[in-house]
Amino acid sequence: MISQLCIPEYIILAMLKSEKLIAQLEKRFDPAIAGSHTIAYVFNVTGDEGGIWLLQIDNGKCQFVPQKELPADPRIPCYITIDTRDLEMIVDGRMTAMTATLAGMLAIKGDMNLAMLLVPMLFESRLANCQS
Residue 49 zone, left/alpha/beta (φ > 0; ψ -120 to 50; rest): left
The burial class, CB within 10 Å (0-12 / 13-18 / 19+), for 89 is: middle
Q: What is the model's pLDDT at position 56?
A: 96
Mean pLDDT of 14-41: 89
44-101 confidence digits (pLDDT tens)? 999 988 999 999 999 999 999 999 999 989 999 999 999 999 999 999 999 999 999 9
85-109 confidence digits (pLDDT tens)? 999 999 999 999 999 999 999 999 9
Distance CA 62, CA 9 (A): 21
Residue 55 makes CB contacts below 8 A (sequence gap 6+) with: 40, 41, 42, 43, 62, 63, 64, 65
Q: What is the model's pLDDT at position 132?
A: 40
Mean pLDDT of the chain: 86
CA-based end-to-end distance of the chain: 16
Q: What is the model's pLDDT at position 65?
A: 96
